Structure formats: structure tokens, C-alpha cells
Amino acid sequence: MQIAIVLYPEFTALDVIGPYEVLGRLPGAEIVFVAEKPGLVRNDLGTLAVDVVAGLASITRPDVVVIGGGPGQVDQMKDGPLHEWLRAVDEHTTWTMSVCTGSLILAAAGLLRGRRATTHWGALDQLAHFGVTPTEDRVVVDGKYLIGAGVSAGIDAALTLAGRIAGDQTAQAVQLIIEYDPRPPYSAGSTATAPEPVRRAATSMLTPRHPG
């Protein structure tokens, strides 16, 4: 089972590494990081560079595609090689997954029209521009599209996908291996629970270009 994880400049690392850590542990999973421009792909914070060997042209029939978000998402919204590739491989995938603002890229490529989806809370209103119904669920499954909310939601989304792919017991075993028994020290992880001053602080810390 080939799982292609798309990287692009200014990606958010946890968006993709959360799912990678879960899906990469499934029996028979072959993970490949893929980018339009292979080589070192640098993240949004600028201090992490991942060596990507595979270009889009070399990955033609992945079983699963995963795309994350990050400030660089805004540069991936125009029709072009990545959208063409996403449309082509999506014809054959078993699952197409996104985390955070990665769903906006899938939506811009035309893959989510008429479907329900989510994204980072700071970008939720953008989904409707692409004919997508936004939801505030942390993980949305609509057909073969498995869509996670912002950044860390990729772990929950990937465990959900792991259950669909490999069964509940294997997914649970992966959860135990990564000791995913979360105990956040605060209850500020969603706009519903974060106090107003925290929401303001978070908004001011997000880049001008893009949330998350």
C-alpha cells in the first residue's frame, strides 16, 4: 500500500508528521514523500528541511494521498502541476486525505465539490468558495475523502484512517505505540474553548499570509 505525502515549501511540519507517524506504522505501508520540486523542502518556520526524493511524475498510482497545510498553501491554490497530479492520482486512490489548510488545495483542485470538509479554524470560511460545505468537526469522512482540522488534528484523522485501512485493533495498537493518550495542560485548543484574549493572541501570532 503506497501512501504519498505531499510536501511543498512552507508546509507545517506537524500537519504531515502526525499522519506519517501513524500511517507509516501500518503493516504493508510504503510511505513516500513527494514534491513538485524534489530536493530539500523547507517548512513554514524555516528551520526544518526535509529531503524529498520523489517528484510528482514518479508517483503515479499511490493508494493513499495525504496533503497538509501551512502558510505555503496559498502558493498551491493556482491550477498547475500539483492540481493536475492530485486530480490524476485521486482517480485511483482508495483514500485521499488532508490536514489543516491542505483541504483548500484539494478543494481548489476541484476534488471536494459538493462534499463536507473542514480545515484550520482560521480558514474555515474559505471552503465555501469551492463548493464545499464547511463543518466544525475535527475529522470529516465523506466518501473516500478524509479531512482533518488544523495541524494536530492530523493525528486523530490518521488514526481514523488507520482503522478503516487496517482494522480497529491495528489502529489501536498504533495509538498505543505512539502513546496517544493526550493530556493537554490547557483547554484552549479550539475556538469554542479558548478565552477571547487567547484567540486574539493566536490570531496575532499567525502569519499575515495564512493561518496554521
Judged by the rule CB under 8 A, the positions of this chain that interact with a second copy are 12-14, 17-18, 20-21, 24-25, 27, 31-33, 40, 45, 47-51, 100, 120-121, 138-139, 149-153, 155-156, 159-160, 163, 168-186, 188-191, 193-195, 197-199, 201-202, 205-206, 211-212
The 3-state secondary structure of 25-39, one letter per residue = CCCCCEEEEEECCCE
Measured between alpha carbons, how far is 127 from 119 in angstroms, rounded to an integer?
8
Active site residue 100: yes
Measured between alpha carbons, how far is 111 from 129 in angstroms, rounded to an integer?
13
Closest of 161, 144, 172, 156 to residue 15, by C-alpha: 156
Measured between alpha carbons, how far is 110 from 24 in angstroms, rounded to an integer?
28
Instruction: Tell the smallest beta-carbon distance from residue 202 to a second copy (Å).
Output: 4
Instruction: Tell the smallest beta-carbon distance from residue 105 to a second copy (Å).
Output: 18
C-alpha to C-alpha distances, 21 to 54, 106, 147, nearest whole angstrom: 19, 22, 17
Cα dihedral sign, 3-144-125-138: negative
Measured between alpha carbons, how far is 117 from 49 in angstroms, rounded to an integer?
29
Please identify which of the residues 22, 26, 66, 100 carries the catalytic annotation.
100
Catalytic residues: 100
